[in-house]
Amino acid sequence: MHDGRVTVFDRRPRLRWTVPLAAGAVVAAVVVGAGAATADSGLPERTPAELLVAVQQPTAHALSGTVSATADLGLPDLSLLTGASASGPAAMLSGTHTLRVWTDGDARSRVDLLGSSDEFDLIRNGQDLWAWSSGDAEATHVTLPADDAPSPSDVPVPDGMPSTPQEAADLVLSALDPTTAVTTTGASTVAGRPVYELVLTPKQDGTRIARVVIAVDAETSVPLQVRVFSTTSGDPAIDVGFTSVDFATPDASVFAFTPPPGATVTERDATSFRDGFRAKGSAGLSEPTVVGTGWTSVAVLPVGDLGAGDGGATASGSDQLTAMMQLLPRVSGPWGTGRLLDGALMSAILTDDGRIAVGAVTPKVLEAALATT
C-alpha cells in the first residue's frame, strides 16, 4: 500500500505512537468485511479491498479547495502549554476551523489556517519554504536542499489533528492491521462530488475509537473527508473534509510569497529548522515500550519528574505543563499514583514516578499497561 511517496509517518516517525489512531499499530494484513460499495447514484460497485488500494494511489496530484476541520477531543485548555493565538496550529485541537489548501505536485503546496482576524500560512514553492503568522507579523524562511526537502508538514502542526483529508487518510490507513474490519456503506456526496465511503471498525474491546469513515472521491480516489467517531459520543470527534474542491492546477502565483513591509523575517538553515521541530516534539522523551496490539496498544515511556503530584516542584517539566496537569483528576492503583487525561479518542496517565502511558484506549487499559511495565 505504499508506492514510494512520503506519508505522514515517514515525515514524523513519532506519530506512530503518539497519535491515538496509530498508537503501536503495525502495518499488516487487513481483514476486509463483506459487501461492496453499491452505487444508488449510478456509480459502479467497488469492494473495500479495491477502495483501499485506490485511496493510496490517487489519480489527481493537483487541487485547491476549502477544508473544514472540527475537533472535539475532550482535552483541557492547551493554551496553557502553547500560548498560541486563535489562528495558530495548536488551535486546531479544538473547535471548528477553516483552511484553504492548494497543491501542485510535491514541490508546490500551500495551507492557510484562517482565524477570525488573522491567519497562519505554510507555503512550499520549489526550494522555498515559508511559515507566516499574520497575527505576529512574523515569517520564517527556509531554503530547502534539492535532494532532501521536507514538506510544509514538517513545521509544527499539532500531532493528532491532520490539516487535510489526505493526511488523515494516510494516518488511518497506515494503522490497519488484523484488528480492523473494513467495510463500505455505499455512495454519498462530499463537496458536491460523488464519493465512496470506507468504514474502518476496530475489532477489539477497550479502544476509544468506534469507527473511522473515509469518503473517497469516485473519480480521482482522493480522500475528501475523514470522520473519526468515539465510543463516548455519536458525533465525530474529528471531522476533516472539503467543503469545496477543484482538481484544476492552481495558478503559480498562489505559491509565491513575499513578506509584507514591517514583517519580522527569520532565515533558518534547513537542517536545523527540521531538527528543531523534531526536538520540540520529542524533548526529553525516550522511545516507548508498547503494551498490547492494534487499536488497544498503549505506549509507556519515562518522562522524568513532570510534577504530576499535588503541588510538587518539577525538575524537568515546565511550569506550564505542571499547571495543566494540576487540572487533571488524580488516580491511583497497583501501578502507583498520577493524573488522568480522559479524552474522547485517547486517554493518558502521567504518573508521579515519572512515566506516561497513552493510547486510544480507556483508562482501565492504561492502568493495566502501567502495571506490567
Q: The CATH number of the domain where 271 resides is what?
A: 2.50.20.10
Same domain, 276 and 143: yes
Same domain, 272 and 297: no
Domain range spanning residue 338? 289-371
Number of independent structural domains in the chain: 2
Interval 305-351: pLDDT, tens: 444 444 443 333 445 555 666 788 999 999 999 999 998 998 999 99
Question: Rounded to the nearest 5°, which phi and psi values hold at 276?
Answer: -65, -40
Helix (H) or strand (E) holding 185: strand 180-190
> Which cell numbers in the block locate residue 34?
463483506
Same domain, 313 and 270: no
Q: How far apart are CA 45 and CA 35, in angstroms?
A: 10
Same domain, 263 and 343: no
CB atoms within 10 A of CB 284: 11
In a domain, 3, yes or no: no
Same domain, 187 and 38: yes
Interval 189-208: pLDDT, tens: 999 999 999 999 999 999 99
Same domain, 251 and 362: no
Q: How far apart are CA 209 and CA 97, in angstroms?
A: 22
- The most confident of the ranges 15-29, 108-122, 196-210 is 196-210
> Which cell numbers in the block locate residue 185?
456503506
In a domain, 37, yes or no: yes
Q: How far apart are CA 154 and CA 277, in angstroms?
A: 7
Q: How far apart are CA 19 and CA 351, in angstroms?
A: 20
DSSP string covering 192-232:
TEEEEEEEEEE-STTBSEEEEEEEEETTT--EEEEEEEETT
- pLDDT grade, residue 173 (50/70/90)? low
Same domain, 117 and 147: yes
Instruction: Point out the domain boundary residue: 282, 306, 339.
Output: 282
DSSP string covering 250-318:
PPGGGG---PPTT-EEEEE-HHHHHHHHHHHHHTT-PPPEEES-GGG-EEEEE------SSSPPPSSS-
Same domain, 223 and 301: no
CB atoms within 10 A of CB 41: 12
Interval 73-110: pLDDT, tens: 877 655 544 444 444 555 666 778 899 999 998 789 99
Same domain, 84 and 197: yes
In a domain, 180, yes or no: yes
Neighbour-count burial of 304, counting CB atoms closer than 10 A to its CB (0-12 exposed, 13-18 middle, 19+ buried): middle
> Which cell numbers in the block locate residue 54?
485506490
Q: What is the pLDDT of residue 189?
A: 93
Q: Are 180 and 31 in contact (CB under 8 A)?
A: yes
Same domain, 141 and 259: yes
In a domain, 2, yes or no: no
Same domain, 304 and 268: no
Q: What is the average pLDDT score of the chain? A: 76
Q: What is the pLDDT of residue 274?
A: 59
